[in-house]
Amino acid sequence: MTDADGDPVVLAVDDEERVTEAYSLWLPDEYTVLTAVDGEEALAMMDSSVDVVLLDREMPNMRGDEALERMRAEGYDCRVAMVTGVEPDVDIIEMGFDTYLTKPVTGEDLREVVEDLLSRATFDSRSQRFFALVEKQSTLETELSRGELDENEEYQELTREVEALREELDETFESMGSEGVEASYRDL
């Protein structure tokens, strides 16, 4: 992935043009930033060069979660950050994004997320899945009460999956003799 010049490609999708313009300004020149005003336009612009998608959830014509579902169904393996004013709820568990940011966001927030997602793109699929699930778990724990989460079966299943992946990754690193890396996974 990346453009012809070797720069990472970021697709910013939001129905408010001033938001995508801000994203373009906030991201350094070493990124190629494409913008779309809804999910349909984003899908028309998608190709294998797109590394990261910054995707709003609430848009006319096609919601962000629907656009994300179609991107994944069409085989696009880019990293996706939901950047939205929609407060997260357990419905995010089934969505195929990598991280969730609630607006308003700062330029620093956006740069950090894009850099993080680009580095995650180099991980194997199991590690990428682990980090995406940990992000969802953390987002829900920040936004919802412990009581709501304890009673929610979807959240409990998410927690079990995170633990199973953590154990698998621990075993892999242990067999490789990579204790420092293994410890960093355990801290998540």
Q: Does the pLDDT value for residue 183 go beyond 70? A: no
Q: Are 80 and 68 in contact (CB under 8 A)?
A: yes
- Listed in sequence order, the residues at least 6 apart from 39 whose beta carbon sits closer than 8 Å to its beta carbon are 13, 59, 61, 62, 63, 64, 66, 67, 70
Stretch 34-43: mean pLDDT, rounded? 95
CATH top-level class for 9-122? alpha beta
Would you kindly state where each structural domain of the chain is located, as residue ranges? 9-122, 139-186
Percent of the chain's residues with pLDDT above 70: 90
Question: Is the link from the previous residue into 104 a cis peptide, with omega within 30 of 0?
Answer: yes
pLDDT in tens, 130-170: 999 999 999 999 988 888 888 899 999 999 999 999 998 88
Q: Which whole number is the average pLDDT over 30-48?
A: 95
- pLDDT of residue 180 exceeding 60: no
Confidence of residue 3 (pLDDT cuts 50, 70, 90): low
Q: Note the pLDDT tens digit of each residue in 79-123.
A: 999 999 999 999 999 999 999 999 999 999 999 999 999 999 998
Tokens in use for 4?
Answer: 């012809």
61 CB neighbour count, 10 Å cutoff = 12
Cβ atoms of 24 and 44 closer than 8 Å: no
Tokens 């990346």 belong to: 2
pLDDT at residue 28, rounded to an integer: 85
Task: Band the pLDDT of 185: cuts 50, 70, 90.
Answer: very low
For the segment 36-61, the average pLDDT, to the nearest whole number, is: 95
Please tell me whether residue 141 adopts helix, strand or coil conformation: helix
pLDDT score recorded for residue 188: 53
